[in-house]
Amino acid sequence: MSFSLFRASVRKVATAGSLPRAQLRNQLRISIRKFSTPPPEAPAPKSNTTLYVGIGAVVAAAGAAFYSFSDSGTNAVKSGVQVAKVKTNFVPTKEDYQKVYNKVAGIFDDAGDYDGGPYHIYRPIVFLILTFSAWHSSGTYDKESKTGGSNYATMRFAPESQHGANAGLNVARDLMENIKQEFPWISYGDLWTLGGVAAIQEMNGPKVPWRPGRVDGVQAQATPDGRLPDASQGADHLRKIFGRMGFNDQEIVALSGGHAVGRCHSNRSGFDGPWTFSPTTMTNDFFKLLFDEKWVWKKWNGPKQLEDKGTKSLMMLPTDYVLVTDKIYKKYARAYADDEALFFKDFSAVCAKLFELGVPTEQWVTPEPWIMKNVDEK
């Protein structure tokens, strides 16, 4: 079964308005579960190609040339790619960025095996690492120093690329590099965040407003370690880390809902397991499971994490569990558990905000963000 057929079947089930909600969710889980890591048994009992080639030649000629512009004393660095766009008089349109989006959405056909699993089971996981790549490249923002964020794409450089929180994301960067070679005019920051938008939308998530304008920087602008959340910490840590970026309590909880997709790997983060039974589909199940399941501390040799008492196949991080133990976080988590549409609305807004952190207003190529089409809307 090709992933495009899998994705289409998921969307068909998820949009079947004639089904009762409970039945719809049931069918969606059945549709997804066989492509996800199954829980263990409970213990007994075509385009502007010629133009792109020309741009590639100009990029090569530009080499490592950079120039800067300033506004209120803030310098922004533009790479040879941006220089190339000026030299060729090429101004990408929304349609050009849509082609990049479509290429990201079709990346599974070229990705090959991932994570050592069967061919069609693990290709969907590529979407998940693209989401985390976009988030980790944006979540380094510091509102006081106005450093970090998705501008400059400094996760390309050591030591930032080697930070513990970025372990395993080289897989996403390597896959996206192939797309960068095909569309050399797009900046890494725009490519990574657009990849995150594609991943969210193609996993049946909400539309995430997005616009281009990020520029590529240099290694000297790489951010220090410690700016991303430490999953072993508690509520105060989340407020400190996300507050530094400019997020409030409600936005912290909404953004945490991204754990509806993906899983942890012990050989990367140290933690292990999926958060939900359908880790390749965006739902509000992360919040529902927080309240509906009995969570106990996992007995193992790894870092401190929780597991569901029933199947012992799901996990929650300490920073996840504080969403139901902290009084303020809990009211937002409960609201999202009860209302998926509300969660999707707030998650879309906070993702759009996250992906724009660190980008000066004057760099945006359009005053209002775009809504990119899903591949099945073409």
Helix (H) or strand (E) holding 293: none
Nearest to 265 by CA among 140, 155, 139, 132: 132
Residues 6+ apart with CB under 8 A from 200: 131, 206, 208, 282, 351
Question: What's phi and psi for 111, nearest 5 deg?
Answer: -75, -30
In the residue annotation, 275 being an active-site residue is answered as yes
Distance, in Å, from the CA atom of 302 to the CA atom of 288, rounded to the nearest integer, reads 26
Distance, in Å, from the CA atom of 297 to the CA atom of 284, rounded to the nearest integer, reads 23
- Indicate which residue of 135, 136, 210, 370 is catalytic: 136
- Indicate which residue of 135, 185, 210, 275 is catalytic: 275
In the residue annotation, 136 being an active-site residue is answered as yes
Whether 273 contacts 307, CB under 8 Å: yes
Alpha-carbon distances of 82 from 3, 141, 177, 235, 347, rounded to whole Å: 34, 23, 17, 41, 31
Distance, in Å, from the CA atom of 308 to the CA atom of 181, rounded to the nearest integer, reads 44
Catalytically active residues, by annotation: 136, 275
